[in-house]
């Protein structure tokens, strides 16, 4: 009988200028990253800087806006969500993209609403940079953590000069 290998789920909470960020994952990849006051979920082991991820997050907020670009992620999601999230990771710091443009990039030009839903279900905010998605008119649109946080992030990355 083969014994299944269970990977530990680690948690770290990092203070940032836009609020506490909770990281969940393994030594190999981030599975969830949320702005939240919540502590570790049941079953997660509190382990500061597991995988070196908190250090990269601190570097990002310290001014190295490239620090999260190659951070390994393993978010749960549908094949379509995964496709949208992969494409979204190609939108670098200092850049923005509209929902419609993102839909075109994943070869679904009529699926901007579905792209928006995939964006809303992104469990690895900041690393999969849903804050870089704006309306087709160039205006800031919804963000799970509020438009003030979105505005701060875009300014931090040099994408928003207002």
Q: Which two tokens stand for residue 53?
A: 């991820």
Cβ atoms of 131 and 143 within 8 Å: the answer is yes
Distance, CA of 72 to CA of 109 (rounded, Å): 28
At 159, is the secondary structure helix, strand, or coil?
A: coil
Q: Return the pLDDT at 39.
A: 84
Handedness of CA 41, 45, 47, 52 (dihedral sign): negative
Q: Which residues of the chain have pLDDT under 50?
A: 162
DSSP 8-class letter at 144: T
pTM of the model: 0.90
pLDDT digits (tens, 9 = 90+) for 59-69: 999 999 999 99
Per-residue pLDDT tens digits for 131-154: 999 998 888 988 889 999 999 999
pLDDT at 71 (0 to 100): 93
Domains, the chain, ordered by start: 10-61 (3.30.160.70), 79-157 (1.10.10.10)
φ/ψ (deg, to 5) at 143: -150, 130
Q: How far apart are CA 154 and CA 149, in angstroms?
A: 9
Contact by Cβ (8 Å): 113, 133: no
Q: How much is the pLDDT for 6?
A: 55
Backbone angles phi, psi at 39, to 5 degrees: -85, -165
Question: 40 is written with which tokens?
Answer: 């570790």
pLDDT of residue 38: 87
Which residue numbers are catalytic?
A: 130
């Amino acid at each position: 009988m083969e014994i299944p290998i269970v990977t530990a789920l680690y948690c770290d909470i990092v203070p940032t200028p836009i609020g506490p960020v909770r990281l969940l994952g393994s030594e190999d990849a981030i599975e969830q990253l949320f702005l939240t006051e919540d502590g570790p979920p049941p079953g997660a082991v509190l382990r500061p800087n597991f995988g070196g991820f908190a250090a990269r997050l601190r570097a990002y907020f310290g001014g190295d806006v490239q620090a999260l670009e190659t951070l390994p992620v393993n978010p749960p999601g549908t094949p379509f969500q995964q496709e949208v999230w992969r494409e979204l990771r190609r939108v670098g710091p200092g850049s923005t993209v509209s929902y419609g443009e993102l839909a075109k990039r994943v070869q679904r030009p009529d699926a901007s609403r579905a792209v928006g839903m995939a964006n809303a279900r992104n469990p690895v905010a900041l690393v999969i940079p849903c804050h870089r998605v704006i309306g087709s008119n160039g205006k800031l649109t919804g963000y799970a953590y509020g438009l003030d946080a979105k505005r701060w992030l875009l300014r931090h990355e040099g994408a928003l000069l207002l």
